[in-house]
Amino acid sequence: MTELLSNFLAGRWQNGSGAGTELIDPVLGTPLVRVDAGGLDLAEAFAFARQEGGSALRKLSYRQRGALLAEVGKVLQAGRDAYYEIATANSGTVKNDTAVDIDGAFFTLGSYAKMGESLGDRHHLPDGDSARLGKDPLFQSQHMLTPTRGVALFINAFNFPAWGLWEKAAPALLSGVPVIIKPATATAWLTQRMVQDVVNAGVLPAGALSVICGSSTGLLDQLQPFDVVSFTGSAETAGVIRSHPAVTQRSVRVNIEADSLNSALLLPDASTEALELLAKEVAREMTVKSGQKCTAIRRVLVPQALYAQAAEAISARLAKTTVGNPRNEAVRMGALINRAQLNTVLEGLAQLKTEAEVLHDGAAHALVDADPALACCLGPTLLGLRTAEASDASRHVHDTEVFGPVATLLPYRDIEHALALVRRGQGSLVTSLYGSDPAALARVALELADSHGRVHIISPDVAALHTGHGNVMPQSLHGGPGRAGGGEELGGLRALNFYHRRSALQASTAVLAQLFPVSA
């Protein structure tokens, strides 16, 4: 029988009481490890994190907590090779895709460690300037941010078991808030191993970091008014979280990242170079992590006159993608996470095909070093709608997110038509713009900013510099309005707002000077 991974909570390692759920290699079909959270004392776990972890973290300054993040980063760097092996086996990702997750986590941790240093020895933060409350400037109001005296519960998706943990945990721990992470069951192994290594190294105070692998049953019931919960996953599960009494009655703060039909838009006056940049980025976003990214491009909008040219350029790049066993150096795209996910993608693809035609067929890709009967692999598939009228008439293309290597090419009449089509996504994490005219790019970016968490603008002058449509950088906001969940993560120091409470202090300037000395 495979190893049963332990949970770490209330300051000790604990096994669940059940047989556990077995995690399977999505390429070879072999069992890996088991996870289970049955019978755990969740009330004890949450109380321990609040009382022990929270108290210890709040005694430290931002600078000291930043130093802890730096030490966590060193511990994780030492385990990098082992993490890559786990990701290959459990997630079925090629090395470059694994780097997006694991090395992306390291980079995010390092970024927030440096931010902690920049905040200095404070234990709370000023929020804006003070304002006088009357004619005499002696009595003023000063807003401030103090760490919430609760726990941060993270319920994460399967696609980023490393980055998904640390992009949330880094700002939470820097804020002085203890973390309980519930990774997606399908890829919990990597998250659990990272937590295990950090715990064994003794870097963080007791109760600062906990991990629960397996069912999420009962977790939300433990939340109290000053706790926060951050969720990444489906809109359906997000609705369950938002309707829970902890949120509706106890006002637990919630951050949601849900479905997102991200778009890429080629402007009408785009040059040939801009079109090539679009084709390159679309192909990359379709194939990185087999399209299993919340930021991946799902809809590609081009002028009607350039439809055929764009279809050919994107398809030519996709045709070069080798699909199969990530252990083979010739393979450039690995597997979907499991058989259930493969079936879900195939069902969504079939739905899109009722409206769109196949421009590049992923089924035509022969698998490299993998058995089609076992491997959860699917080649990249580009669909298309040939006319602008079809773009208007389509429903599924604008409503259905196929979470895999699938995208749809849509032609538009003019820029106003293009903007209307983009907005049919009802709010997205990111859109990317491709063009050569800075003024036109700026105008369109402002038009779409209200419905997107991030607008990624690619022109020929930044062809070799831009960070990528789907890459989430810690300096920039991650989240989006509407169907994308309405949440916000990262964005530099903005991420700390979620883990702090804002208050207005009304006092004499002498009192305020004690709280916020100039030298702080």
Q: How far apart are CA 305 and CA 488, in angstroms?
A: 37
Q: How far apart are CA 365 and CA 318, in angstroms?
A: 10
Q: Are residues 212 and 276 in the same domain?
A: no
| Cβ density class 365-383: b for 16+ within 10 Å, e for less | bebbebeeebbbbbbbbbb
Q: Are residues 60 and 121 in the same domain?
A: yes
Q: Report the CATH number at residue 376.
A: 3.40.309.10
Q: Are residues 73 and 186 in the same domain?
A: yes
Rg of the chain over Cα atoms, rounded to whole angstroms, equals 24
Helix, strand, coil share (%) of the chain residues, nearest 5: 45, 20, 35
From the candidates 213, 281, 285, 294, which is the catalytic residue?
A: 294
- Report the number of distinct structural domains present in the chain: 2
Q: Is 210 left (phi over 0), alpha (psi -120 to 50) or beta?
A: beta
Residue 294: active-site member: yes
In this prediction, residue 518 carries a pLDDT of: 65
Q: Are residues 285 and 405 in the same domain?
A: yes
Residue 509 lies in a domain: yes
Taking only the tens of pLDDT, the chain with its 520 residues reads 899 999 999 999 999 999 999 999 999 999 999 999 999 999 999 999 999 999 999 999 999 999 999 999 999 999 999 999 999 999 999 999 999 999 999 999 999 999 999 999 999 999 999 999 988 889 999 999 999 999 999 999 999 999 999 999 999 999 999 999 999 999 999 999 999 999 999 999 999 999 999 989 999 999 999 999 999 999 999 999 999 999 999 999 999 999 899 999 999 988 999 999 999 999 999 999 999 999 999 999 999 999 999 999 999 999 999 999 999 999 999 999 999 999 999 999 999 999 999 999 999 999 999 999 999 999 999 999 999 999 999 999 999 999 999 999 999 999 999 999 999 999 999 999 999 999 999 999 999 999 999 999 999 999 999 999 999 999 999 999 999 999 999 999 999 999 999 999 999 999 999 988 865 4
Q: How far apart are CA 404 and CA 292, in angstroms?
A: 5
Q: Report the CATH number at residue 153.
A: 3.40.605.10
Q: How far apart are CA 76 and CA 347, in angstroms?
A: 38
Burial level of 431, CB count in 10 A (0-12/13-18/19+)? buried
Residue 477 lies in a domain: no
Q: What is the SS3 assignment for 255-271?
A: EEECCCCCEEEECCCCC
Q: Are residues 367 and 412 in the same domain?
A: yes
Give every CB contact of residue 445 below 8 A, 6+ residues apart in sequence.
Answer: 433, 455, 457
Q: How far apart are CA 168 and CA 151, in angstroms?
A: 13
Residue 25 lies in a domain: no
Q: Domain range for residue 126?
A: 42-218+489-515
For 361-405, strand residue ranges (E) read 367-368, 381-384
Residue 243 lies in a domain: no
Q: Are residues 204 and 297 in the same domain?
A: no
Q: Are residues 465 and 493 in the same domain?
A: no
Q: Are residues 344 and 437 in the same domain?
A: yes
Q: Are residues 464 and 494 in the same domain?
A: no
C-alpha distances in angstroms, 295 versus 428, 432, 495? 9, 11, 18
Residue 286 lies in a domain: yes
From the candidates 257, 281, 401, 489, which is the catalytic residue?
A: 257
Cβ atoms of 354 and 396 closer than 8 Å: yes
Residue 230 lies in a domain: no
Q: Are residues 497 and 454 in the same domain?
A: no
Q: Are residues 499 and 465 in the same domain?
A: no
Q: Are residues 209 and 301 in the same domain?
A: no
Give every CB contact of residue 31 below 8 A, 6+ residues apart in sequence.
Answer: 2, 22, 23, 24, 25
Residue 276 lies in a domain: yes
In this prediction, residue 520 carries a pLDDT of: 45
Residue 167 lies in a domain: yes
